[in-house]
Amino acid sequence: MEAPGRTVLIDTGLGFNPLEGLDSEGGHLTEALAGIGVSPVAVDIVLLTHLHGDHVGGTVADGGAAFPNATYRCHADDLAWQPGVFPDTYLAQIEPVLDRIDPVADGMTIAPGVTVREAPGHTPGHLVVTLSSGGERAVLLGDAVHCPAQLDATDWAMIGDADPALASRTREALLREIDSETLVGAAHFPGLRFGRLVTGGAARTWVPLS
């Protein structure tokens, strides 16, 4: 996103080398940024909501930082975490930028209109991001909610949740705060489209932007 005077990239996707054997696709970040007129050298801040491979895969290119002028930000608890799964795709995947990471703290505004908040459970240092512009507000849920079914079934765990019970409590608390005026982005929702949550009775409905 373009904050006043700052270009902020939030997560870098699956990356330049899609994971083999999975039904997944990646490696189009650079082209997608070019499509909106953003060169890698113009990115000032790369904010990583958490350090799973499908969110950091485009952080490194050709053995170095894919965004050479950027400061890299994530939560220190994810840097200290030993997940015990996918060891080859965790910190090793971003090794070339590890010494450039400036950890964030809960509630920190990292650029005008861009504020991070701790939302642990999926990973220990998982972050959600609030974007503010004028009177408008958007929330990027990262992996705090993986699919629209979890909007109501907040106790449903995703296989990758490090602490499913904590992830569930975080999810429910987050969703209770989001009103129908707030734009919502979720990293794994169908089509990767922004949308809104419409609450009727006890049910929450996902309404993607058309």
Query: Which residues are near Zn ion by CB under 5 A?
Result: 52, 143
Residue with smaller CB distance to Zn ion, 78 or 143 = 143
Minimal distance in Å, beta carbon 4 to Zn ion? 30
Residue with smaller CB distance to Zn ion, 40 or 121 = 121
Minimal distance in Å, beta carbon 22 to Zn ion? 13
Residue 17: how many CB atoms within 10 A of its CB?
14
Place of tokens 């998982």: 126
Residue with smaller CB distance to Zn ion, 118 or 143 = 143
**Surface-to-core class of residue 171, CB atoms within 10 Å of its CB (0-12 exposed, 13-18 middle, 19+ buried):** buried
Minimal distance in Å, beta carbon 13 to Zn ion? 12
Residue with smaller CB distance to Zn ion, 42 or 147 = 147
What is d(CA 52, CA 113) in angstroms, rounded to the nearest whole number?
Answer: 25
Residue nearest to Zn ion (CB): 52
Chain centroid offset of residue 139 CA: 10
Minimal distance in Å, beta carbon 163 to Zn ion? 13
Contact 105, 28 (CB under 8 A): no
